Amino acid sequence: MKSFDAIVIGAGQAGPFLAARMVEKGMKVALIERKFLGGTCVNAGCMPTKTLVASARAAHVARNGAVYGVNLSGEIAIDMKVVRARAETVTINARNGLIGWFAGMDGMTVIYGHARFEGPKTVSVNGEMLTAPRIFLNVGARPVIPDLPGINDIDYLTSTSIIHLDRLPRHLAVIGGSYIGLEFAQMYRRFGAEVSIIEHGPKLASREDEDISDAIADVLRSEGIDIHTGASDIAFAKSSDGITVATDSARIDASHVLIATGRKPNTDDLGLDAAGVITDKHGYITVDDSLATNVDGIWALGDCNGRGAFTHTSYNDFEIAAANLLDGDDRKVSSRILAYALYIDPPLGRVGMTEKQARASGRKIMISTRPMSRVGRANERGETKGFMKVIADAETKKILGAAILGIEGDEVIHGIIDAMNAGTTYPALQWSVPIHPTVSELIPTLLGDLKPV
């Protein structure tokens, strides 16, 4: 039996940084990872996918260069082997950076293998038994594969496997119209593939307000992506030159199928029963406001706890745990204001409540919208798709939420994120003097146009 001050299972965006903080405090820490350091973000999520998005945007800009007076002779060719290699390089560099960082830490033991609980303070890995008074779970999530007719008869792709493609699909059918599916749909359309999106629900990006969802669909359709919402009876079959995807209203002749119907936590093979750790019906580990599980001395961080599904929320889980356990603070998950982005082009930046949620809350609210066609920077760049939207509380004057679908929307939203976290009222922001010409300079104007609903 090997003893440590703490054991961290999973090397995503929370566990490794918490382990490093504990080592700085003089603790002896075991970090266990079954495959690669960095978790989903580094290996199969943000870093490789946004690298691919950048390649796809480069192709799109080159293809439309004549609009800007830049004429390129011949057809724009895509070398998918180079595209793939570039994404893999970004991933490997980030992974190696973590390996080098941990190698220089006295007190850190990195173990590659599959960890399982043998008791509330004990785990086994590679035939060895480890024990610690504190155990942290940061095991992440993986794609969900729905039980659809014929799905086991075809070679489908997931968000993990598609990033390794080194040739262009003739026709990519994307099953699922949420954030992951939409990013890959636009990406591969810009690479030159025919793309169809099949979504069971009535709209794309179902978490968003209807006007945002409609605008997202308009962006994708404008680039030639075929969208099928309200699709039922989805089934698959092999064909002579690929895969047939059939729904109640369409039949698609695809060469490749991407399953993007959600993710589930990697908690089913950890031996949680042996430790007495409780999960919900979806497999997410139940935690309190400090990320502690029902078992004393065990915490769950990141995607596996169901309290956030993003790299930044996972990292914030680390910040909360470190502040509470190492710095004597009392930080809570419920204090977090949720923000995220959808990385289609133009991107969507989102924070706080949607209009639907704000209306349902019973508050007296105010709403303002502004099309990107009325933003100088968007016109100068020739990228006027989308719009800005903000919701505020008419009585407290606090901003409740915002959505910016448009050029640099993923960056512009941070002005509102910061204001909401600081508790700044919207009238105070109206007196700011922003830089011209930017997209952010329209935030005071947007707030000045708030009207009661």
pLDDT in tens, 356-369: 999 999 999 999 99
pLDDT exceeds 90 at position 43: yes
Percent of the chain with pLDDT over 70: 100
Rounded to an integer, the average pLDDT of 148-168 is 97
Kindly tell me if the per-residue pLDDT of 74 is higher than 90: no
167 belongs to a structural domain? yes
Residue 78 lies in a domain: yes
Which of 309, 335, 361 is the last residue before a domain boundary? Answer: 335
Alpha helices in 294-375 (DSSP H): 311-326, 355-360
What pTM was estimated for this model as a whole?
Answer: 0.96
Q: What length is written for the chain?
A: 453
Query: Residues 322, 363: one domain?
Result: no
Is the backbone of residue 302 left (phi > 0), alpha (psi -120 to 50) or beta?
Answer: left
Q: Are 275 and 235 contained in the same domain?
A: no
Asked if the structure places residue 235 within a domain, the reply is: yes
> Structurally, how many domains does the chain consist of?
3
Same domain, residue pair 99 and 200: no
Q: How far apart are CA 263 and CA 50, in angstroms?
A: 19
Indicate whether 163 belongs to any domain: yes
Q: How far apart are CA 161 and CA 139, in angstroms?
A: 19
In this structure, is residue 239 part of a structural domain? yes
H or E segment at 118? Answer: strand 116-119
* Within-domain flag for 223: yes
| CATH code of the domain covering residue 420 | 3.30.390.30
Model confidence pLDDT, tens digit, residues 268-287: 999 999 999 999 999 999 99
pLDDT band per the 50, 70, 90 thresholds, residue 22: very high
Is 164 a known active-site residue?
no
10 and 133: one domain? yes
Q: What is the pLDDT of residues 330-388, one digit of tens each?
A: 999 999 999 999 999 999 999 999 999 999 999 999 999 999 999 999 999 999 999 99
Runs of H (alpha helix) within 115-206? 179-191
Of the chain, the end-to-end C-alpha distance in Å amounts to: 64
- 91: enclosing H helix or E strand: helix 80-103
Of 242, 261, 280, the last residue of a domain is 261
Q: Which of 209, 230, 261 is the last residue of a domain?
A: 261
Q: Sign of the CA dihedral 337, 341, 347, 353? A: negative
Whether residue 146 is contained in a domain is answered as no
pLDDT band at 73 (very low <50, low <70, confident <90, very high): confident
CATH code (residue 330): 3.50.50.60
CA atoms in the 13 A half-sphere facing the CB of 177:
26
426 Cβ contact partners less than 8 Å away, ≥ 6 residues apart? 390, 392, 397, 398, 399, 419, 447, 450
Torsion of CA 93, 95, 100, 104, to 10 degrees: 150
Q: Is residue 162 part of a domain?
A: yes
Output b/e per residue, 11-35; b: 16+ Cβ within 10 A. bbbbbbbbbbbbbeeebbbbbbbbe
Question: Would you state the structure tokens that stand for residue 202, as one six-digit string?
Answer: 């009535």
**Domain range enclosing 374:** 339-452
Looking at 164, 200, 256, 436, which residue is catalytic?
436
